[in-house]
Amino acid sequence: MTERVVLAYSGGLDTSVAIGWIAEETGAEVVAVAVDLGQGGEDLETVRKRALDCGAVEAVVADARDEFADQYCLPALQANALYMDRYPLVSALSRPVIVKHLAEAAKAHGATIVGHGCTGKGNDQVRFEVGIGALAPDLKVIAPVRDYAWTREKAISYAEERNLPIDVSKKSPFSIDQNVFGRAVETGFLEDLWNAPTKDVYSYTADPTLNFGKPDELVIAFDQGVPVAIDGRKVSVLEAIQELNTRAGAHGIGRIDMVEDRLVGIKSREVYEAPGAIALITAHQELENVTVERDLARFKRQVEQRWGELVYDGLWFSPLKDALDTFIAKSQEHVTGEIRLVLHGGSAVVNGRRSAESLYDFNLATYDEGDSFDQSLAKGFVQLWGLPSKIAAKRDLA
């Protein structure tokens, strides 16, 4: 029986070339698997047909937009996940859902090998292969770009020689990965850290330095940490992200230009656009400030950092990540209410909050009449709180 390879297929140059190359080099049949995560561009039927025209024996296309939003983006939102306090895990979140569909396709089509188009310098090779190892440990992996030094020039020559139905232009200066949660851009002139991004780097966001006129004010409603309405209109998680991509993106919100620490040990300059993600995280964080008890909130911030690192490092399907998911889910029990956001000039600013689950007590917080805080208790509290430090200071200064 002919061996089969399930290939993570994007529809672009590298993975289109990989279909024929894998077949020629290994004698295996290739099943292409494309997953729609809201990245836009071509429709799934066009992508499916291209895979078949490039030599795939089967082409599986999956509309996973709601699945991605509900099961991957939402947990990241509830974790306020920002790798290095800035990056909302745009690409890292997409890899485990693709891996899940690859593993399912391998089982359905009798494949023994999974293929991907990642290089040896990036994080994605880890995310794909560690994920496959967790979901289908018996599958082998092939990575032509990494394992066989498959350069872009070689791919273009291969495509031209065989008249493959793909764009083989050498002019594109960037490597771009995008989905509904955001957009990642790297390589080209961006590899020089002194070069500023030009306007053609961006697609999801307008220039925040331009005059946008009237700010956009909106109200986001959450129910136990889930965005459920915008300006009183019910929305799904996917719809919330899409609407805020449009509205926050129109005000230049969510642009990130950073040097990040890759898992493989090198530093990399990355430019991201994530208007919906940044606006939603901003609102969610503020609602947690209103509804989550102090010590739980302090500990959750530590959990958030570790959760983001695990996802970035390709450990979505790991025991620690699963355990942290349980903690984060528990922390969301009272994160219900509304946040008012003002979108303007590259910033999403909270200017209103309300919640039936609020821990804010006006009578305790006010300095005006009606103050119910017993200030006479504070003197003894301060003395006892500082007593250990005071005793140590007497010893050390003696």
2 is in an annotated binding site: no
Domain span at residue 377 reads 362-396
What token pair was written down for 67? Answer: 């699945």
15 is in an annotated binding site: yes
Residue 47 and residue 157 share a domain: yes
Tokens 């620490």 map to which residue? 261
Residue 71 and residue 43 share a domain: yes
302 occurs within a structural domain = no
Q: Is 167 a catalytic residue?
A: no
12 is in an annotated binding site: yes
Strand order in the sheet with 337-344: 233-234, 226-230, 216-223, 337-344, 347-354
User: With 60 as the cut, is the pLDDT of residue 79 above it?
Assistant: yes
Q: Which residue in the list 4, 48, 65, 95 is annotated as catalytic?
A: 95
Residue 288 and residue 223 share a domain: yes
Q: Strands of 206-279 (E only): list them.
A: 216-223, 226-230, 233-234, 255-261, 267-273
Residue 181 and residue 155 share a domain: no
Rounded to whole angstroms, how far apart are CA atoms 323 and 318? 9
pLDDT tens digits for range 235-276:
999 999 999 999 999 999 999 999 999 999 999 999 999 999
Residue 346 and residue 276 share a domain: yes
Residue 134 and residue 10 share a domain: yes
Q: Which residue in the list 175, 236, 268, 358 is annotated as catalytic?
A: 175
The crossing angle, in degrees rounded to 10, of helices 13-26 and 152-161 is 70
Total tally of structural domains belonging to the chain: 3
Rounded to whole angstroms, how far apart are CA atoms 56 and 45? 14
pLDDT at 104: 97
27 is in an annotated binding site: no
pLDDT tens digits for range 210-233:
877 799 999 999 999 999 999 999
| pTM, to two decimals | 0.94
11 is in an annotated binding site: yes
Tell me if residue 136 falls in helix, strand or coil. Answer: coil
247 is in an annotated binding site: no
320 occurs within a structural domain = no
Residue 381 and residue 345 share a domain: no
158 is in an annotated binding site: no
pLDDT tens digits for range 343-379:
999 999 999 999 999 999 888 888 888 788 888 899 9
Q: Is 124 a catalytic residue?
A: yes
Rounded to whole angstroms, how far apart are CA atoms 72 and 77? 9
Q: Which residue in the list 124, 183, 247, 331 is annotated as catalytic?
A: 124
Rounded to whole angstroms, how far apart are CA atoms 268 and 259? 5
Q: Is 368 a catalytic residue?
A: no
Q: Which residue in the list 4, 14, 183, 313 is annotated as catalytic?
A: 14
Q: Is 207 a catalytic residue?
A: no
pLDDT at 139: 97
